[in-house]
Amino acid sequence: MSIVTNKMTVQMYFKIFVVLIILTLLTFAQPYIISGTISQTVIMQLFIATIKAVLIGSYYMHLKYEAPLFRYIVLMALVTLTIFFVITATDAIFRNETFDLFQK
Amino acid sequence: MNDSQTPEFVYDKEGKKHEVVDFNNDNTGSKLGFWLFLFTELMLFGAMFLVFCFYFFRHGSDFVHASGSLNLILGGTNTLILLISTYFMGISLLHVKENKIEKAKKTIYITIFLSIVFLVIKYFEWMAEINHGIYPDSEVLNALSKGEILFFGLYFTMTGFHGLHIIVGIIVMIWVIKLLNQQKISSEKYVLVENLALYWDIVHLVWVFLFPLFYMISFGGVS
């Protein structure tokens, strides 16, 4: 444990901080750089947010330096959440459509 | 622990026997437990994001229209403030590990200060909406379209829950400072600060997704 934590330094925190600031500024600037429809804007915004989340998770929350157990349980929690989203998404998209397999 | 208890033993790879003398400083166990708590937080906010996404899909243009009335400058400032505060929280953990207790306290004070600034800005943001007559179940809000009612309902619920987490964070930070003063946290025993930093990062992570979904979608034009 003490070996791995040595990798966490103020320099590392600062580097990640600078990258996060740049990504945040990109979040503000995105509509002025590429303006698109709602879905394009949402996809671009969430793409930046996901990169930020991965950086925060791996460096600020030390998942990169933790034992594999931590990475796996975080992954499992995210998979569970994704399942909820996928199931609800199919409901949202197909709610008002009828699928009758036996009708020609 | 009590010496009169039956001793427990663990074996290493060579088969050598070691007596377990202490479970108190099980840092991995503490962290694992805290991660499990963080997963409940993930599900709490995850479910709210799920509801948001569902209604955003159904009432896209209403959400975009409602999003346009939020104050982007205040929201953006808060995004930066929270980002800076997580940086200082992380640094304080490093200071505790290196046994620089005074420096650690200073960085935690900075974090507390930034979180209070965050809450004050949030207060003005909410008041701006409330002064426009927009708050849950108000006459002005109920007269708006269904999508806009849902958007503002989710806005107050989610930023409210997030703000509540900030308040809890501040209370825990004050407690940690108290423990640092009493020398109950040291470079040997710092898992509480580590968990606090994890908590603060989760609070930040929620905002990382909350900000674009509530504030930035107004730029999305009408599809």
Could you tell me if B111 and B173 are in contact, meaning their C-beta atoms sit under 8 angstroms apart?
yes
Domain count, chain A: 2
* Residues A55 and A85 occupy one common structural domain: no
DSSP reduced 3-state for B75: helix
Considering only CA atoms, give the Rg of chain A.
20
Q: In sequence order, what are the beta bridge partners of B10?
A: B18
* Residues A48 and A91 occupy one common structural domain: no
Kindly report the pTM of this predicted structure. Answer: 0.88
Q: Which domain holds residue B150?
A: 27-219
A2 domain residue, yes or no? yes
Structure-block tokens of residue B5: 């208890």
From chain B, pick out residues whose CB is under 8 angstroms from the CB of A31. 216, 219-220
Q: Does B106 touch chain A (CB under 8 A)?
A: no
* Residues A27 and A8 occupy one common structural domain: yes
Q: What angle do CA B61, B62, B63 make, to 5 degrees?
A: 90
Q: Which domain holds residue A72?
A: 67-95
A103 domain residue, yes or no? no
Give percent of chain B with pLDDT exceeding 90: 72
The model's pLDDT over B101-141, given as tens digits with 9 standing for 90+, comes to 999 999 999 999 999 999 999 999 999 999 999 998 888 88
CATH number reported for the structural domain that contains residue B153 in this entry = 1.20.120.80
B107 domain residue, yes or no? yes
Of A33-42, B40-49, B102-111, the least confident: A33-42
Reported ipTM: 0.87
Closest CA to B97 of B85, B82, B107: B107
Domain count, chain B: 1
* Residues A56 and A87 occupy one common structural domain: no
- Residue B16 predicted with pLDDT over 60: yes
Say which DSSP state B192 is in: H
Q: Do B201 and A61 touch (CB under 8 A)?
A: yes
The model's pLDDT over B143-182, given as tens digits with 9 standing for 90+, comes to 999 999 999 999 999 999 999 999 999 999 999 999 999 9
A57 domain residue, yes or no? yes
Could you tell me if A44 and A22 are in contact, meaning their C-beta atoms sit under 8 angstroms apart?
no
